[in-house]
Amino acid sequence: MGDVPAGHENLATAPESSAPPAPTRRASRSGDRQGWASCALAAAGFVVCLVGWLQGGASSDWPWMPSLDLRLSFALDGLGALYALLATGIGVLVFAYGTAYLSLHLAHQERATAERWRFWPWMALFAAAMVGLATAQDLVLLFLFFDVTAVCSYFLIGFDRDEQQAHRAALMALLVTVVSAVALLIAAVLLYAEYGTFSIPELVDRVDSGTTTTVAAALLAVAGLGKSAQVPLHFWLPRAMAAPTPVSAYLHSAAMVAAGVLLLGRVHPLLARSDAVLTGLLVVGTASIVVGGVLALSQDVLKQVLAYSTISQYGYVVVLYGIGGATASGAAAFYVLAHGIAKSALFMTAGAVTMATGQDRLSRLGGLGRRSPLLAAAAGVAAANLAGLPLTAGFFKDELFFEAAHGAGSVTTVIAVLAAGLTLAYIGRFWMLLFLGRPRTDPSPVPRLLTAPITVLAVASVLVGVVPQLFAGLAADAGSVTNAAPVDVSPGYHLDARPANLMALSAWALGVLVLVFPGTARAGSLALARAGDRIGPQRIYTRLLRASFRLSGALHAREVLDLRSSVAAVLVPAGLLMALAFAATPTVGAYAVGSPAGSDWLILPLLGLVLVAACVTARAGTRLGMVLALSVVGFALAAVYALNSAPDVALVAVVVETMITLVFLAALARLPRAASAARPGHLHVDVGAEAPLRGARWRNPLAAGVAGLAALAGIWGFLSEPDVTPGLAEELIRRTPEAHGQDVVTVTITDFRGLDTLAEITVLLIAVVGVATLVRKGRLW
């Protein structure tokens, strides 16, 4: 297995036995209309976002659910523009790269080109979701787009559905990111309950320090850290490298993983209300820098090196958010831009090398610089960008990082130097083992579409390295949103002994030292990998997942024993949840029991009759008795409706109950007579089911009692608490003449709710057709 850390052999994304064959120019030029269409959409999105930001931004706000104070609120502010431009701009290049890569990938696996329809729609939807996430100004809207990105990533990571490794990786990514995203929704509810709004700008103005704010801020941080693969929720990202390279180059460098730090940047003014949360960000970011960087030093699979690098690099951004303030906010924004450019190029380099050589391990590669000088040069610029070397955008991301870290104290200064040194060490090892030394393979020519996007990103890195103002303005605007105050980002070259320069020199010296003497660092990396395999979070995740499967299997086996168990499996948990809701909700003085008056003296006996008839229905031993008792329930309730001044509802109830009774009598009359030999008290025997289970005597009444009490409490609570929001009845009555009608009920059914009515009619027609088909085939009698 080469020099893969112990316990990490199964993380390889393309073992030698399944490595793709060398590409041909014909294969790389095969048409991919879906891919180019997605590329065009991304390009159009980039132009729109760029023009919108250059013109001062834009915003829109529409009512979504007024009763819940939810709005479709979007704003192309500095932060939104940064991530929208990153998602669409990188998307253009990655999508163009993917048109060539996906054709080769499908050809290697002997899959039809029609499989592209399972790939490109999800990539395009992901890009759109990232733009929506970047510009959303409402916490619930933010949660919605957060989950859309998770769903898209599930299908993209699991694109190679015949490979079990890809399926497991997709499930892991979905579970970790979606479960952590629930924390975002809980935080939104807490803040709404306390401050009465989901709007992020309004919350920034209203929120004060306090217990509720601290808890909500911690939950928001958990959601962002899980999405950005930060320790201890980092283990899903290396597994996600089972995805095709375009997915890794887009989702796991500039899009999905960036969504986590986007969330942190968007709600940072709320997080800053709690010093405990900021300290937590510092701790988690530091741990991610160290764990990701150290593990990257010993990885052998190309994409695994870059995966652990991503964990470490986004740790930089989390540390900056933990530091807080104007300098750190601007540095974080600039860092995200520079990292997205560098990491996307490096992921695409890994894919191009694998396609050209059929190998994906550093221990089996080398000397590629002689055969692919353009690829080597472009990848070298991307590596220098990530390492923070001069004449690249990365130099300024590190300069701003060093300034913020030095201003926060000596501890963060040491952390910053260590982080930059680790980055230079592992990315230098990555590039040198690929392109220097003795050739170990005979690579085929790399298709132009696999190298052109990398070259474009390398050129962009150098341009920003020479003219940093190309990114500085956008980073300043984005940092101003995060800081909730103006931010100035003014990177530049300074040939003096200022702290940032000294920190950079120290980091480069440390990185070179690790490269020259790799033994100690490698031993430490392997030891950390082994410790993670034994006691790390991935092991905990695996055990929890297995325990969940066992529990689910046991519950399912119990549920499907008979029909009553299946019904109880729904009603009892619902009843318990209702009881929990009442226990957690203050209800003292909320309800009052009055004395009967007027028509109540007629309604009470009718309700008593309903209760008796329901019990008779449950205990009836014959079919006719069961149907007649059930009809008594319906007709008695119709009388109740009439006494409550609802004659129209009462009439409908009488008609429906009459039809149901006749249908039941007709159907039961056609059942075989042999089934009527039932034991009294056991209805399921009457309809041909198995004998009652042991313990059913107490189980059935208990389940019925829990469900009945829950229904009573829920209905009582709903009807007893008046609705504080205005209803739609007055509005529907007012607009009835506009719909050219006089009967508000008819107009509502045919006009205001026309689509609902059409759907209901469609369902009834499908049911009629199904029943008629079964009757013709003799399935019913």
Q: How confident is the model over 131-179, as pLDDT tens digits? A: 999 999 999 999 999 999 999 999 999 998 888 899 899 999 999 999 8
Q: What is the C-alpha separation between 130 and 340, in angstroms, rounded?
A: 14
The answer to whether residue 372 scores a pLDDT higher than 50 is: yes
Name which of 48, 57, 46, 49 is nearest 480 in CA terms.
57
Confidence of residue 622 (pLDDT cuts 50, 70, 90): confident
Token output for 190: 């807490």
> What digits encode the pLDDT tens for the residues 63-77?
887 777 788 999 999
Residue given tokens 């020199």 in the structure block: 505
Angle, vertex CA 657, rays to CA 651 and CA 658, nearest 5: 90
Q: What is the C-alpha separation between 436 and 431, in angstroms, rounded?
A: 8
Number of neighbours of residue 675 by Cβ within 10 angstroms: 14
Residue given tokens 């007579």 in the structure block: 673
Report, as an integer, the average pLDDT of 635-655.
Answer: 85
Handedness of CA 367, 368, 372, 378 (dihedral sign): negative
The answer to whether residue 5 scores a pLDDT higher than 60 is: no
Which pLDDT value is given to residue 755?
Answer: 75
**pLDDT averaged over every residue in the chain:** 85
> What digits encode the pLDDT tens for the residues 310-331?
999 999 999 999 999 999 999 9
Beta bridge partners of 75: 59
Number of neighbours of residue 293 by Cβ within 10 angstroms: 26
Using CA atoms in the order 192, 195, 198, 204, what is the torsion angle rounded to 10 degrees?
A: -140
Say which residue, 19 or 41, is predicted with more confidence. 41
Question: What letter would DSSP give residue 485?
Answer: S
Report, as an integer, the average pLDDT of 577-604.
Answer: 77
Name which of 212, 292, 311 is nearest 252 in CA terms.
311
Burial letters 216-243, b for 16+ CB under 10 A, else e = bbbbbbbbbbbbbbbbbbbbbbbbbbbb
Report, as an integer, the average pLDDT of 496-522.
Answer: 90
Which pLDDT value is given to residue 697?
Answer: 67
Residue given tokens 């970790």 in the structure block: 176
The answer to whether residue 307 scores a pLDDT higher than 60 is: yes
Name which of 255, 277, 276 is nearest 267 in CA terms.
277
Report, as an integer, the average pLDDT of 227-254.
Answer: 91
The answer to whether residue 27 scores a pLDDT higher than 50 is: no
Number of neighbours of residue 310 by Cβ within 10 angstroms: 28
Which pLDDT value is given to residue 695?
Answer: 56
Q: What is the C-alpha separation between 110 and 507, in angstroms, rounded?
A: 47
Report, as an integer, the average pLDDT of 624-645.
Answer: 87
The answer to whether residue 230 scores a pLDDT higher than 70 is: yes
Lowest mean pLDDT among 494-508, 513-527, 617-631, 723-737: 723-737
Say which residue, 716 or 684, is predicted with more confidence. 716
The answer to whether residue 724 scores a pLDDT higher than 60 is: no
Radius of gyration of the CA atoms of the chain, in A: 32
Q: What is the C-alpha separation between 576 and 424, in angstroms, rounded?
A: 56
Which pLDDT value is given to residue 590?
Answer: 65
3-state SS, one letter per residue, for 345-380: HHHHHHHHHHHHHCCCEHHHCCCHHHHCHHHHHHHH
The answer to whether residue 14 scores a pLDDT higher than 50 is: no
End-to-end, the C-alpha distance of the chain in Å comes to 65
The answer to whether residue 420 scores a pLDDT higher than 90 is: yes
Which pLDDT value is given to residue 778?
Answer: 56
Q: What is the C-alpha separation between 267 and 191, in angstroms, rounded?
A: 12
Say which residue, 300 or 255, is predicted with more confidence. 300
Which pLDDT value is given to residue 485?
Answer: 92
The answer to whether residue 472 scores a pLDDT higher than 90 is: yes
At 22, which helix (H) or strand (E)?
Answer: none
Classified as helix, coil or strand, 500 is helix
Report, as an integer, the average pLDDT of 181-205.
Answer: 93
Report, as an integer, the average pLDDT of 512-527.
Answer: 84
Lowest mean pLDDT among 1-15, 142-156, 678-692: 1-15
Residue 429 burial by Cβ neighbours in a 10 Å radius (0-12, 13-18, 19+): buried
Confidence of residue 414 (pLDDT cuts 50, 70, 90): very high
Instruction: Provide the percentage of residues in the chain whose pLDDT is more than 70.
Output: 90
Pairing of strands 70-75, 59-65: antiparallel
Which pLDDT value is given to residue 723?
Answer: 56
Instruction: Provide the percentage of residues in the chain whose pLDDT is more than 90.
Output: 50
Say which residue, 714 or 373, is predicted with more confidence. 373
Token output for 498: 């200022």
Confidence of residue 50 (pLDDT cuts 50, 70, 90): very high
Alpha helices in 272-367, H assignment, sequence order: 275-296, 302-323, 326-357
The answer to whether residue 434 scores a pLDDT higher than 60 is: yes
Burial letters 129-164, b for 16+ CB under 10 A, else e = bbbbbbbbbbbbbbbbbbbbbbbbbbbbbbbbeeee
The answer to whether residue 701 scores a pLDDT higher than 90 is: no
HSE of 434 in the Cβ direction (CA atoms, 13 Å)? 32
Asked if 94 and 79 count as a contact pair (C-beta separation under 8 A), the reply is no
Number of H helices and E strands in the chain, helices first, is 33, 2
Report, as an integer, the average pLDDT of 637-666.
Answer: 85
Confidence of residue 589 (pLDDT cuts 50, 70, 90): low
Lowest mean pLDDT among 349-363, 419-433, 452-466, 715-729: 715-729
Q: What is the C-alpha separation between 427 and 482, in angstroms, rounded?
A: 30
Which pLDDT value is given to residue 727?
Answer: 62
Question: What letter would DSSP give residue 136?
Answer: B
Using CA atoms in the order 4, 10, 12, 15, what is the torsion angle rounded to 10 degrees?
A: 100
